Amino acid sequence: MNVDEKYFKIISKRERAIFEGAITMGAIFHQFIGTPVSSRTAEGLEKAMMNAMELQPCIKEVQVKINSEMLEQLKNEYQYVSLSGDMLDVKVFSEYDGNLAIIRMKFIEELHYPLIYVEEVQ
């Protein structure tokens, strides 16, 4: 019995695609929130986040965008801030056995919250 049969037998292939994407999104949120970031370092941090998370099982692509307008408004002595959820717009494309799930994290103004949700399943 392989790992998939042993540990994931109670969920569908579609659910597995969603699961893998959601796990990766949770890792992004909990590993990178609080990271020092500035206008000068944002692009490098975006790439590092994408490259690291694309190593996860079933992850085909990760898109990370840090809100540059927020960074350009920095008005502190050190010219950097700690990365927060409201600065991020992230998509994780997770595929398992032909099932694609797109998991999204985006700041939702009406909720005043960086919501993580299933954007699409194919």
Per-residue pLDDT tens digits for 27-73 = 999 999 999 999 999 999 999 999 999 999 999 999 999 999 988 88
Residue 77's pLDDT is what? 80
Q: What is the CATH number of the domain that holds 104?
A: 3.30.1300.20
Mean pLDDT of 111-122: 97
pTM for this predicted structure: 0.92
3, part of any domain: no
72, part of any domain: yes
Nearest-angstrom CA–CA distance, 42 and 46: 6
Residue 6 confidence class, pLDDT cut points 50, 70, 90: confident
The amino acid occupying position 10 is: I
Residue 74 confidence class, pLDDT cut points 50, 70, 90: confident
Please say whether the beta carbons of 26 and 18 come within 8 A: no
44, part of any domain: yes
45, part of any domain: yes
Residue 2's pLDDT is what? 78
47, part of any domain: yes
Q: Helix crossing, 13-32 with 42-53: angle to 10°?
A: 140
Task: Using the Cα atoms of residue 7, residue 11, residue 17 and residue 21 in order, give the sign of their dihedral.
Answer: negative
Residue 29's pLDDT is what? 95
Please say whether the beta carbons of 103 and 25 come within 8 A: yes
70, part of any domain: yes
Number of domains in the chain: 1
6, part of any domain: no
Name the residue range of residue 111's domain. Answer: 11-121
